Amino acid sequence: MEIKINKPSAMIQVNVKELSFTQRKIVNFMIYIAQKSGNQKYYVTDIKTIKKMCTIKSTENIDIKEQFRNLKNIIIEFNYLNKDKNHVWQSINFISAVEIIHNTGETTFEIPNMLKERILDPKIYAPLNILLIAGLKSKYSIVLYELLRDYLHSPTFPQLTVTELKELLGIGKGKYKEFFDFKKRVLDKAIKEINKKTDIICTYELIKTSGNRYSHIKFKVEKNINFKFSKPISTIENKDVPLIENKFDIPPEILKILPPEYHINSIRHQIEPYFNDLNFLASNIEYANKNCDKNYPAYLKLALKNDYAKVNREVKEKKNKIVQDKKNHIQEKKNQEKLLKQKAWDYFNSLPEGKQFKFRSDAEEKMSAALKFIKIPERRNDIITAQIEKDLLLVT
């Protein structure tokens, strides 16, 4: 089954960090309704259809309302890569108004006129199957797929800086600072999902323009001739919606390692019983991040139930114990040496002045050859003191 839209290129190339995974799907569905209905003041659908078409898994309408409320307040700047050369700069809200009737779920929304003109009569656009997009599991996969699909039939794909790509993907400046983390956790995962689940195949080349750091990315995209879209839409009866207000309930060290696309209520409920043992929880989340290829929630559930990370945790604990034992041994040796030195100096201070003078004279005599070349008084005194200390330890 295919439900296609002609999405304006300028709308694909948007720099919007606030757009969530679910909101990107809703925007595509809004475009579908508008293009299907033509030029209308208001467009009408219902919550049940929105959930089905966007594979939204929440059973509560309040979550849909929250998505629309946030979407209404988001302002976007179009045509980030300037593919549409005739397109002027625009800054527009996605929707100007929305109304949801409680009993029936009937949903009415209004699209700003400037945006509606672009949607209904796009000069440059990418044909997109919104059901295919709705089946992707990561918002980074959605953004990158739409961008790549937009250039499928273009002679070349523009060379992007790493910063430009991050901005298009909606990644803030403080996130994935290390390129290796960005490549592993975002870029490679998104491309793997795109190549597996969509009608295009993508590869990329990393480019160094100065120094030893990757600064640019060059994508290559071609049609996936083996792709067949036959998966029906399925709705799952649980509360898988992005966490917005509840993120503070999750310990920050856990939220940091939990993949962003799984900052959802069902995962929070799944991991909450393990908040009393964060080491156990963190190790199994990291295990799932590394080893899960599909169905992350189910894999994480099994990992926590069966403690898949037990061996890794035990190995790590043994290594930590060896390191700590070594540190303790070194510290204990230092403490013993310190006690012995203190004992030696206590003995020295108890001696008559004449014997103390002899210790110093003997030390200077033993170090006389080296002291000839030492001009700094403090350095000479340190060497003499060290020799006295050595002699004292022999007699004490």
What the block records as the tokens of 169 is: 């993907």
What does 6-68 look like in DSSP terms, one character per residue? Answer: EEEHHHHS---SS--HHHHHHHHHHHHHHHHH-S-SSEEEEHHHHHHHTT---S-HHHHHHHH
Instruction: Split the chain (396 residues) into runs of 10 and give each run's mean pLDDT.
Output: 76 65 86 87 86 75 80 69 57 85 84 88 83 86 90 85 86 84 93 94 90 88 85 40 51 87 74 89 92 81 91 87 90 90 87 87 82 78 84 79
Residue 106: the pLDDT is: 84
Residue 337: the pLDDT is: 87
Instruction: Decide if 259 contacts 292 (C-beta within 8 A).
Output: no
Residue 234: the pLDDT is: 42
Residue 144: the pLDDT is: 92
Question: Per residue in 93-123, pLDDT tens?
Answer: 888 899 888 777 888 899 989 888 888 888 7
Residue 59: the pLDDT is: 59
Q: For residue 58, which of 24, 22, 27 has the smallest C-alpha distance?
A: 22
Residue 49: the pLDDT is: 85
Burial of 286 (0-12, 13-18, 19+ CB in 10 A): middle
Residue 179: the pLDDT is: 87
- Report the predicted TM-score, pTM, of the whole model to 2 decimal places: 0.53
